[in-house]
Amino acid sequence: MPSGLQATAGGPIPLARPLLGDAEERAVLAVLRSGQLSLGPRGPEFEQRFAARVGAAHASAVSSGTAGLHLALRAAGVSDGAEVITTPFSFVASANVAVYERARPVFVDIDPLTLNLDAEAAAAAVSSRTAALLPVHVFGYPADMATLEATGVPIVEDACEALGGSYADGGTIGSRGHPAVFAFYANKQMTTGEGGIVVTGDAQVKQRIDSERNQGRAPDMGWLDHDRLGFNYRLSDIACALGIAQLERLDELLAARARVAGLYRQALAQIPELTLPCEDSGRARRGWFVYVVQLPPGADRDRAVTELGTRGVAAKPYFPAIHLMSYYRERFGYRRGQFPVCEEVSERSIAIPFYPQMGEAEVTRVAQALSAALRQGRSSRVSLAAPGR
């Protein structure tokens, strides 16, 4: 086990747990003592270090991954009446950001193996109204970028779950030049508490995002010169200091997550018909964010989640299909049956506990609890199907 990573034992097992230590505490305390909590030196330092880490020319720290996606879509030219092609299998923010700009999210179905946007279907959906493609590297696995790039349509990558991953050509996720957005919520590969960052190869895109995240101020930060519409999407120096400390141990954090994923693959392999995350293929590498499994066909997912909870193991349905959420059905007319692969995967998928401090004993306990929960569900279905007396 890497230095500083201690397995926990006994008690409830949470879904996620950030790994924080003395270095993070010292970094935050130094900012507090400096008296400059925002718009200070930690922001540019964090941006430069993060850009170097993923092989990008520029980076702009923002208040969340959602904020980063919003600003990146604006920079790509998305506005009223435009269409953004994206996936229905994601956290809802990746669709919401198009709606913020009064654009229409155009969903296409997903690949049943990688769970990413079906790139060929996305290419076929491109029309004269398409302003951008927004692929999501779902659960940290890289989308088929080569096929999407061949369309010539501007691309904004949702890499909020994919830090540490690499594309099919071996390049680091975030290094392709078009805007890619990472997020640092507490369950991510590294955390700033809340926060995100946009990386790009275009200096003008960075300049625009830097302005719009700060109320549209001019590049020289002139207080009275707001030359465009902007937002308060800044990331504080406190958060950036935390991010710098986490970046310094990122290799350790990523290795620990990969270790836990390996333990799960072994521990869960014996559960019949349980679908595990796809393995890496060729030079494509997953940046491990969560561990999501698909329950056997016909299993009662909600009951399984409840049963796991009674055994002290947190679990959550992950992800709900966006197009079936009431807002998207009512506003855009989406309906059940349009994206059958997404719908089946969504109905079977749950996230189980996954964080770098997990040890073999905890992984074994989760696997045993999941197996027992599924057996309990099968027993209940048999009882319900038996003739009454």
- Catalytically active residues, by annotation: 188
Q: 88: closest CA among 321, 331, 320?
A: 321
Q: 140: closest CA among 339, 351, 367, 347?
A: 351
Give φ, ψ of 273 to 5 degrees. 65, 15
Q: 187: closest CA among 60, 31, 314?
A: 314
The two beta strands, 83-86 and 130-134, are parallel
Count of CB atoms within 10 A of residue 381's CB? 14
Q: Which letter, b or e, does each residue of 33-67 get, where b requires 16 or more Cβ atoms within 10 Å of its Cβ?
A: eeeeeeebebbebbbeebbebbebebbbbbbbbbb
Q: 254: closest CA among 104, 58, 119, 53?
A: 53
Contact 107, 86 (CB under 8 A): yes
